[in-house]
Structure 1
Amino acid sequence: MKTTSILVSGLVALIASTAAMAPAAAQQVASLHPAFASTADLTSIPVGHAEFCAQRPYECLPMAPAAPVALTDALWTELQQVNNHYNTTVTAMSDADLYGTEEFWTYPTSGYGDCEDFALGKRATLIERGWNPANLLIAVVRQPNGEGHAVLMVRTDRGDLVLDNQEGLIKLWTDTPYTFLKRQSQAHAGQWVDILDARDGIVTATAGY
C-alpha cells in the first residue's frame, strides 16, 4: 500500500493481528491502541440527533459488530473524495440562520448546512457506497475556543479518522485540536457513548449536545 499522510508507525502488528479476528475481538484489540478512541458507558443522545432519529427511525437502528475498515488505496481515495465533495459544495451556515432554531440535525439542503449536517451527509454517502455503518460514527467535540462541534469518525485499521468540515485533511482523532466528548455507539446508531479522551479523561457533553 502507498504511504499516505495518515499512516501511523507502530500499527503494523495491530493491523496484522486484527485482520484475521472476528469483528468483536478485533474491536476489543483496536480499542487498546491510542489511534483508536476508547469509549465508556452509554450517555445522553444529543438533542438534535434525538429529534433526527424520531423523524427517521430507520437511520437509528441496532448495528452488527464490525472490525475496523481495512483501508486500501481505493477506499482511502473514496474517503477523500466524499470528504472533499461535501467540504467544497456545501457552505457552512448555522441552524439559527437556516431554520430559525438553535439545533436541527438534517442532511445538507440547497448547498447549506452546519457541522452536523456535513457529518450526516458524509455518513449517508459512505453507507450508500457500501461502508459499514458501524464504522461511521458521528462524534461531538469541544473546540479550543470552548464551542461545540460535530465530526464524522471513521474506524479503520489505521485508527479512528476524522472527517471535518473545518479541515480539508483527514486526520487521526488524536491529531485534531479537539476534546472528544461522545459519539454514536458502534452497536446502535441511535445510542451514544462517552469517549475516553486520554488528554482529559472521561468528559461529558454540555446540555446542548
Structure 2
Amino acid sequence: MGTAPVEAKEQVAMLTSFAANMAVGANTGVPIGYARFCTENARDCGAGPSGHADGGKVVLTEANFAQLRQVNEDVNRRIEPMTDLDHYGEVERWAYPADGYGDCEDYVLLKRRTLIGLGWPADTLLVTVVRDHKGDGHAVLTVVTDRGDLVLDNQEAAVLLWHETGYRFVKRQAQDDGDKWVSLGDVLAPLTVGRY
C-alpha cells in the first residue's frame, strides 16, 4: 500500500509527452451490442465534447493515474468473466455487470461509468474495439490524455499506453459524439466483440 504513490509517480514520469494518441479515421459502424446498450441506457451514451480547455485530453497527474489504476484493478477483481452466451443466452449483449458477471465490454462500461462518477470527462473515456493477441474481438476502455492514449483492460492489471498492448485497434467511440464511432485502421472488424 505504501508504494502506490511512488509507483504512480514513476509510471507517470515514464509516459513522455511524445507518446502518440491514436490516429482516427472516418466514421464507421457502431457495434450492434453498443447500439442496443444505448437504446436501453440512453443517458449513458452520446456525450459530446465537454468543452474543457485542454483539447479533449486529460492532463495526466500522479493522482489521476493512480485513480485509473485503482478503478481498473477494482473492476477487474469484482467481475467474474462469463461469455454473453453463457450469461444471457445471446451471442452479443452489452450491459452493466450488476450480478458480478460479464465479458470484456461489460467491464469497459462499468469502468467508464465509475470514472465519469469520479469526475472524468466522458469524451476522454472511449469504448474501443480491438483484436487481442489471439486475433479475437475484444473491448477495452481508452483514456485520452496529454501523455498518450491509455488502455484499461480486463485482461491486464496494468494501465498501458495503447501501442504497448500488442492489440490491433479497430474502432472506438468518436470523441466529439459518443453515439458515433471512428475507424482506427484495422479493417477486419470482428463480428462479435469478445468472449470475456
Q: Normalised by the size of structure 1, how large is the TM-score?
A: 0.81
Contact 2:27 2:180 in 1 (8 A): yes
C-alpha displacement at 1:7, in angstroms? 2.3
The separation in 1 between residues aligned to 2:116 and 2:36, in whole angstroms, is 21
Unpaired runs of 5+ in structure 2?
1-7
Contact 1:182 1:204 in 2 (8 A): no
C-alpha displacement at 1:187, in angstroms? 1.0
Equivalent of residue 83 in structure 1, options 72, 80, 85: 72
Equivalent of residue 91 in structure 2, options 90, 96, 102: 102
Q: 1:204 to 1:194 in 2, by over 3 A?
A: farther
Equivalent of residue 14 in structure 2, options 7, 12, 31: 7
Contact 1:39 1:195 in 2 (8 A): yes
RMSD: 1.8
Unpaired runs of 5+ in structure 1?
15-33, 197-201
C-alpha displacement at 1:35, in angstroms? 2.0
Contact 1:60 1:188 in 2 (8 A): no
The separation in 2 between residues aligned to 1:89 and 1:6, in whole angstroms, is 29
For 1:120-156, what per-residue CA distance to the aligned partner results, in whole angstroms no more than 9, with x for missing partners? 0000000011000000001000123221000000011
Equivalent of residue 24 in structure 2, options 36, 39, 52: 39
For 1:78-103, what per-residue CA distance to the aligned partner results, in whole angstroms no more than 9, with x for missing partners? 11111110011111110111100010
Output the amino acid matched with 1:59: D
Residue identity over aligned pairs, in percent, reads 43
Q: Which residue of 2 aligns with 1:143?
A: 132
C-alpha displacement at 1:162, in angstroms? 0.4
C-alpha displacement at 1:158, in angstroms? 1.2
SS, match of residue 177 in structure 2: coil
What are the residue-to-residue correspondences of 1:34-183 with 2, within 5 Å? 35-64=20-49, 65=51, 66-183=55-172
Equivalent of residue 176 in structure 2, options 187, 206, 209: 187
Contact 1:6 1:158 in 2 (8 A): no
Contact 1:59 1:189 in 2 (8 A): no
